[in-house]
Chain A
């Protein structure tokens, strides 16, 4: 039996590794996605004061520190039994919307998008941000940089720092804004809406009007039927900051809707000896392995999942595009809501609809008269001993759970991070792509690209390599026989 090692970040970058085993005929028998790293936050936060969690746990990830900061801050609201006033809540959500705009922009233009904008079959050296700029023009490239920059200024203004913010406290936010600051943010929000609309138009022209790409999106290779998870507001609309967790079954029916504080009744995580990351699954269905379908506990929590669980979007322009996506991809409305889209590559489209939603929501909040209220903190009266906080991170539902002593010193912590939710689905997508593209022991150059597309659409956070400009991921495939002898090697540097 042959073993194929795809080491996407190779030995030197070591954050993720794919092992593919071939059977005697040279076809894929199994594929494993290994996470070779553990940093241990769940252990070393023990003994620390709970109020430090927003600034300690944001160091889990420098790409989405805002998400950890916010989940931790909300867990503190719960732990200290304090409800922030509505001005504080709006200010937090304003900060959070700005973060979503910049994060989704980075993903589309630098990471996932190049597959489409430049083309899945374009030379590897072109499928990066520079290739994108060549294709869409330097002006657009400058707009992308400007979008990231103006939103980072908002993040820094509201959170104290551009990376690893500081302003989250139980019961509120440490910094209020004045009218002048508000006006600046309003301007940014308006520019963000224009930018999001422009981006959706580019997606329409480049991807949707091209039947080759559309066929790729709707091909069986990138299709999985799983459960979907996401936060919804009380009208079952997408919400990044707050709400109930809704899970829908592969056939689109609501499987369960629960308060994030009840997550333990619904989610469990299984441990494997060959990876440092745990695999979450739906507890009441059970872990049945890496398989699709309603009888498998595997669920997905991504931009597409969030749209799949929602009845609609909360802002008008995003709603228009939401409908367009479901109609275009052939979904029907049943009992007032669209059936889920199972084409995983549509995640890129869903991400852009979310980009527009975040921009629109940001404008709503920036023009809300309460937003300049100077009073954005409620002082808690004591500690409950347990706190759970949940937000949607760009890559999936993020839950922080702390148990503390009576002084608020952490005794136990449980963190279910965005990408972790999708660990099993990503592994399944990789296996399916490998099965489709490796036959009779022959691995061709195209495989690299297609496997890469299968996991890049999830925007996975364990390989930080996928989160940075230009996001071209070097791949290395080594084809070995059972005695470990190297038969063939392909690299895409």
Chain B
């Protein structure tokens, strides 16, 4: 083999879990070391910004980019790495769809500041100050970056080639992708999700599925579900039906519903909308026969009242990518 291809991993607004998923490929890391030149990864190697800036365009073979776009630093790095990389992969839910931190889009920065720095339960802030971009301290000036009002996914900022779903992607998935690259196989079409199958979590989930006829939804704390039967059939909101497979159904395996971290399944535009339409088809409508329209509405309302937070339930990992991706008021 000639020169080892350069790869990079970068975190924008990230929790670090995506990096840990790289560390968790354990001894496979040695293979990575043997076959690639990990040119840039703030947690692993110390290449600096100016080193990247000096590289020629498209010099990096692949960049795995994780974390959402939350401030100007994140955006600049996304642009730089786009320019320097042949292939840019949105790695993990935050980069792919905004992730859990994009639930922030349901509130304004002002609300964040008020709640966190002024009305918080332990806060001591008699003068009601909040962080500022410029602060003059006794000895001089200190600066802070400004927050963006809206959290965005990577592809809302730059052109993205592939997506690796998961919060974080399971280490096996990363291993599969690395192995595939090493095999030199033909690259999939641009825009594909890689490392995952084309099906949903439901297809991978080992639970027994019957015809679903749901009369009542319940919350996870209310019931101890049967260990073998589909959780959705038992009334728990399980997102598996609208979520891309790839994890193998990890959460249902420990008796917890899928919360949708792999994002929309193949061919699905909007994960939440898909879930809502799926629910529409599995609510038991037997009792509706012959009912008046008012009664029907009341019946449906009554069933849906047990889903208290549609935004946070159906778009937990993808508010940035929802059709309506922030609160408009």
The verdict on B308 contacting chain A, using a C-beta distance below 8 Å, is yes
The verdict on A32 contacting chain B, using a C-beta distance below 8 Å, is yes
Interface string of B13-37 (1 = CB under 8 A from A): 1111111110110110100000000
The reply to whether B131 and A274 form a contact with Cβ atoms under 8 Å apart is: yes
Residues of B within 8 A of A (CB): 11, 13-21, 23-24, 26-27, 29, 42-44, 46-49, 51-52, 70-71, 73, 77, 99-101, 103-104, 106-107, 111-112, 115-117, 120-125, 129-132, 135, 137-140, 142, 144-145, 147, 167-168, 170-171, 219-224, 250-251, 253-256, 259, 261, 308-309, 311-313, 316
The verdict on A449 contacting chain B, using a C-beta distance below 8 Å, is no
Inside 8 A of A19's CB, which chain B residues have their CB? 142
The reply to whether B309 and A63 form a contact with Cβ atoms under 8 Å apart is: no
> What is the CA–CA distance of A468 and B125 in the complex, to the nearest angstrom?
35
Report B28 CB to chain A, min CB distance, Å: 10
Residues of A within 8 A of B (CB): 1, 3, 9-14, 19, 21, 29-30, 32, 34, 36-49, 51-52, 55-56, 59-63, 65, 76, 80, 142, 145, 148-149, 152, 156, 158-164, 166-167, 169-171, 174-175, 263-264, 267-276, 278, 280, 283, 287, 377, 379-380, 401, 403, 407-409, 412, 414, 416, 464-465, 467-472, 474, 476, 482, 491-493
Inside 8 A of A264's CB, which chain B residues have their CB? 121-122
> What is the CA–CA distance of A138 and B264 in the complex, to the nearest angstrom?
43
The reply to whether B256 and A164 form a contact with Cβ atoms under 8 Å apart is: no
Inside 8 A of B170's CB, which chain A residues have their CB? 162
Question: Given A30-B138, A36-B145, A159-B254, does the pair A48, B312 have CB atoms closer than 8 Å?
Answer: yes
The reply to whether B256 and A167 form a contact with Cβ atoms under 8 Å apart is: yes
The reply to whether A268 and B123 form a contact with Cβ atoms under 8 Å apart is: yes
Inside 8 A of A142's CB, which chain B residues have their CB? 27
Q: What are 13 A-B residue pairs whose CB atoms fall within 8 Å in the complex?
A: A11-B49, A19-B142, A30-B137, A49-B309, A52-B259, A59-B101, A160-B253, A269-B123, A273-B129, A275-B131, A379-B222, A465-B42, A482-B140
The reply to whether A21 and B140 form a contact with Cβ atoms under 8 Å apart is: yes
Contacts A44-B106, A414-B120, A468-B19 supplied; 15 other A-B pairs, CB < 8 Å: A38-B112, A43-B116, A48-B312, A60-B15, A63-B20, A76-B221, A161-B251, A166-B254, A275-B131, A278-B123, A403-B121, A467-B16, A468-B23, A468-B43, A469-B23
> What is the CA–CA distance of A265 and B48 in the complex, to the nearest angstrom?
45
Question: Given A59-B17, A273-B130, A273-B131, does the pair A169, B140 have CB atoms closer than 8 Å?
Answer: no
The reply to whether B44 and A269 form a contact with Cβ atoms under 8 Å apart is: no
Instruction: Please pick, from B112, B130, B131, B256, the residue contacting A166 in the complex, using a CB distance under 8 A.
Output: B256
> What is the CA–CA distance of A162 and B18 in the complex, to the nearest angstrom?
12
Inside 8 A of A267's CB, which chain B residues have their CB? 122
Inside 8 A of A44's CB, which chain B residues have their CB? 101, 103-104, 106-107, 112
Inside 8 A of B51's CB, which chain A residues have their CB? 493
Report B107 CB to chain A, min CB distance, Å: 5
The reply to whether A149 and B26 form a contact with Cβ atoms under 8 Å apart is: yes
> What is the CA–CA distance of A3 and B131 in the complex, to the nearest angstrom?
21
The reply to whether B224 and A377 form a contact with Cβ atoms under 8 Å apart is: yes
Inside 8 A of A401's CB, which chain B residues have their CB? 121
Shortest Cβ distance from B253 into A: residue: A160
The reply to whether B73 and A12 form a contact with Cβ atoms under 8 Å apart is: yes
Interface core residue of A162, A403, A476 (most chain B CB under 10 Å): A162
Inside 8 A of A269's CB, which chain B residues have their CB? 120, 122-124
Inside 8 A of A169's CB, which chain B residues have their CB? 220-221, 256
The reply to whether B117 and A278 form a contact with Cβ atoms under 8 Å apart is: yes
Inside 8 A of A283's CB, which chain B residues have their CB? 124
The reply to whether B15 and A3 form a contact with Cβ atoms under 8 Å apart is: no
The reply to whether B42 and A12 form a contact with Cβ atoms under 8 Å apart is: yes
> What is the CA–CA distance of A166 and B106 in the complex, to the nearest angstrom?
24
Report A464 CB to chain B, min CB distance, Å: 4
> What is the CA–CA distance of A163 and B15 in the complex, to the nearest angstrom?
11
> What is the CA–CA distance of A40 and B100 in the complex, to the nearest angstrom?
11
> What is the CA–CA distance of A339 and B189 in the complex, to the nearest angstrom?
65
> What is the CA–CA distance of A342 and B52 in the complex, to the nearest angstrom?
43
The reply to whether A43 and B20 form a contact with Cβ atoms under 8 Å apart is: no
Inside 8 A of A493's CB, which chain B residues have their CB? 46-48, 51
Shortest Cβ distance from B146 into A: residue: A36
Report A236 CB to chain B, min CB distance, Å: 26
The reply to whether B220 and A51 form a contact with Cβ atoms under 8 Å apart is: yes
Shortest Cβ distance from A57 into B: residue: B100
Inside 8 A of A62's CB, which chain B residues have their CB? 14-20, 168
Report A210 CB to chain B, min CB distance, Å: 27
The reply to whether B73 and A39 form a contact with Cβ atoms under 8 Å apart is: no
Inside 8 A of A380's CB, which chain B residues have their CB? 221
